[in-house]
Chains A and B, each alone.
Chain A
């Protein structure tokens, strides 16, 4: 991934169970509000830790996509 790439973070509130895994794996980018996770910011500079968070979510509630072309980066199929 190139320098300056921007990603979009989305947490599906209907899937999230508030396990707190993402907020532990990537505390700069996810926060629990009212028991459910939400991204601290929707647009972020590319950061490997949000891929870890998306791949670790048991409900696959987190989607990371490329801001330019909206292609899904994580979770993998």
Chain B
């Protein structure tokens, strides 16, 4: 074990700009070494964890704290430190907020949303097929489906989607929006959600926003109005941005990996297993975010992380760790044991994971059924990738069938 926290010069991070959905080869080397020091565009230097076991420890062990980042010069991608609400909390404060919404996202509750999601997917695929070929999978299917689902669940009017979808970019933006505009979008999103909450207080409905308002009014001591509005806005924004991005990513990998789309077409019962494998295989994150601070000295990955030092993780690197996944760099649509960290780990494990899984399965099943001959309508070199965001994804995805 080496104690090098002050001795080595941190490496600039991320190491390289993301290229399509390729994982930087540096991570394979780093998994073999003790943790290294990195410097994100802003904030203090951090340790970087890349091994599956180390990443799990940082995300799951209570000796690593998100709340301890408050008031620190947090390693980050934006000039200004962003308010991240529930993502800047530890238990028990975190639990107090999370419990309010966790019930709406259990596997059992999500299952009840499946028939309606299927119907929406069918309707949207009708539109996609009527528009082409070629037609844009991002605009016709990947964007509207998660928005419709989260709107229904929360009780947000889907007719407002153009407005809040624009503002939601602020949640995943690193450099795509200049800081003033990002703040303006966040303010708009919060004001919009505040208005919806006020309306639900007068006219409750059978939706999650109404349930949150009820919980807040029954336990005013446990939850401030601002916390509730911020949480609801976070669910709306994060709740669709990620899935909107991951649907085309998954279809892209399946269409560009020889035989993958045909395999699933012949064996659609593999879709749930394939979705887990795609969650593992796709490096969704474009950079590191949400550093954890050690609350005591911790031995980790061959170094001593001192109390008060931040650690960032690369989930995609952990998901390719050969110590956990056989033939880790290969897409295996039949992989049975798959403890990937694509939805994170520990108390901040994605609250919408079960919902995302259901949506991703429904979308792939519907496309395999309705467009078995699906293919990219342009050469891969002509696809445009988003940049300046926390996540990687396609701007548009012209497909034919």
A residues sitting closer than 8 Å to B (CB atoms) are: 18-21, 23-25, 27, 32, 35, 49, 52, 55-60
Contact = CB atoms under 8 A, between A and B. Distances in A.
A20 B353 contact: no
A52 B106 contact: no
A18 B351 CA distance: 14
B294 to A, nearest CB: 15
Interface string B345-379: 11101010110000000000000000000000000
A19 B345 contact: yes
A59 B357 CA distance: 13
A59 B343 CA distance: 14
Contact of B347 (A24, A32, A55, A60): A24
A72 to B, nearest CB: 15
B107 A19 contact: no
Contacts of B102: 55-56, 58
B339 A58 contact: no
Contact of A24 (B91, B99, B106, B351): B91
B98 A19 contact: no
A12 to B, nearest CB: 12
A36 to B, nearest CB: 9
Minimum-distance CB pairs A-B, first 9: A24-B347, A20-B60, A19-B349, A24-B346, A20-B346, A52-B95, A20-B345, A35-B339, A56-B102
A54 B282 CA distance: 31
Contacts of A18: 339
A56 B98 contact: yes
A59 B339 CA distance: 16
A58 B106 contact: yes
B103 A19 contact: no
Nearest to A15: B107
Contacts of A19: 343, 345-346, 349, 353
Contacts of B14: none
B105 interface: yes
A58 B95 CA distance: 13
A27 B61 CA distance: 8
Contacts of A59: 106-107, 354
A32 B60 contact: yes
Nearest to B352: A58
B219 interface: no
Nearest to A60: B106
Given A20-B345, A49-B92, A56-B95, 16 more contacts: A19-B346, A19-B349, A20-B59, A21-B349, A24-B62, A24-B91, A24-B346, A25-B95, A52-B92, A52-B95, A56-B347, A58-B102, A58-B349, A59-B354, A60-B106, A60-B107
Contacts of A35: 339
Interface in B91-145: 91-92, 95, 98-99, 102-103, 105-108
Contact of A25 (B91, B105, B345): B91
A49 to B, nearest CB: 7
Contacts of B59: 20
B386 interface: no
B216 interface: no
Interface string B70-105: 000000000000000000000110010011001101
A24 B60 contact: yes
B105 A52 contact: no
Contacts of B106: 57-60
B62 A27 contact: yes
B306 interface: no
B148 interface: no
B105 A58 contact: yes
Interface centre among A21, A23, A25, A32 (most CB of B within 10 A): A21
B332 to A, nearest CB: 18
B92 A58 contact: no
A57 B351 CA distance: 10
A27 B95 CA distance: 13
Contacts of B108: 60
Interface in B264-322: none
Nearest to A23: B60
Contacts of A32: 60
Contacts of B103: 55
